[in-house]
Amino acid sequence: MQYPEPIAQLIDSYMKLPGIGQKTATRLAFYTIDMNSDDVTRFAKSLISAKRDLHFCSICGNLTESDPCDICRDKTRDQSQILVVEQAKDIMIMEKMKEYHGLYHVLNGVLSPIEGKGPEDLNMASLLKRLQTNEAVKEVIVATNATPEGEATAMYLSRLIKPAGIKVTRLAHGLSVGTDIEYADEMTLFKAVEGRTEM
């Protein structure tokens, strides 16, 4: 039996989201149909508003309603540090921590030869321009993920930035709090030893 066209289209729409297969999309479609009309209308308006009203900050690449974004406009933030992240959502995660008070830069991805993503496909040129025009920046903290692509991107950025005399650091990787050493893989242990700190 085939679903009526509106349900089939809704299922297809949900399947365009990452990690959503046929079964989950079908469950979500039927859940949406069971929602009251006001909630469905609010949901639809939220999707349209997010797509229409959000754009990338012309300075850092963060998602924002205004340009430049609130973080770039905030003169109380530490102007000497720029933390480089893969995606705008990574900024939200760092901000929840409430411990970092510098600036950000969003790459919108990582170097990935397999996917055909080179430096020209990332938001790197604007970072380099930013570093050339802002003498206040003394440190770039690379916070790409600890994946082969994230590591390659970090090394590439380091090679580009260090000749300008700007300190380039990497977020520490290794054992998470509460992890037993016996359950950690070799790379995690290596990173933990490499990133050890004095007590």
Do 87 and 45 belong together in one domain? Answer: no
Do 22 and 108 belong together in one domain? Answer: no
Do 43 and 81 belong together in one domain? Answer: no
Confidence band of 181 (pLDDT split at 50, 70, 90): low
Supply the pTM of this predicted model: 0.82
| In-domain check, residue 196 | no
CA dihedral over 148, 151, 157, 162, signed as positive or negative: negative
**26: CATH:** 1.10.8.420
Backbone angles phi, psi at 139, to 5 degrees: -145, 135
Read off the pLDDT of residues 55-88 as tens digits, 9 standing for 90 and up: 999 999 999 999 999 999 999 999 999 999 999 9
Question: In the prediction, which pLDDT does 40 show?
Answer: 96
User: Residue 14's domain spans which residues?
Assistant: 5-53
Residue ranges of E strands in the chain: 55-56, 63-64, 78-85, 102-106, 139-142, 167-170
Confidence band of 188 (pLDDT split at 50, 70, 90): confident
Do 79 and 49 belong together in one domain? Answer: no
Do 125 and 93 belong together in one domain? Answer: yes
Read off the pLDDT of residues 128-173 as tens digits, 9 standing for 90 and up: 999 999 999 999 999 998 888 999 999 999 999 999 999 999 988 7
Confidence band of 178 (pLDDT split at 50, 70, 90): confident
Does residue 47 surpass a pLDDT of 90? yes
| In-domain check, residue 179 | no
Distance (Å, whole) CA 130 – CA 67: 16
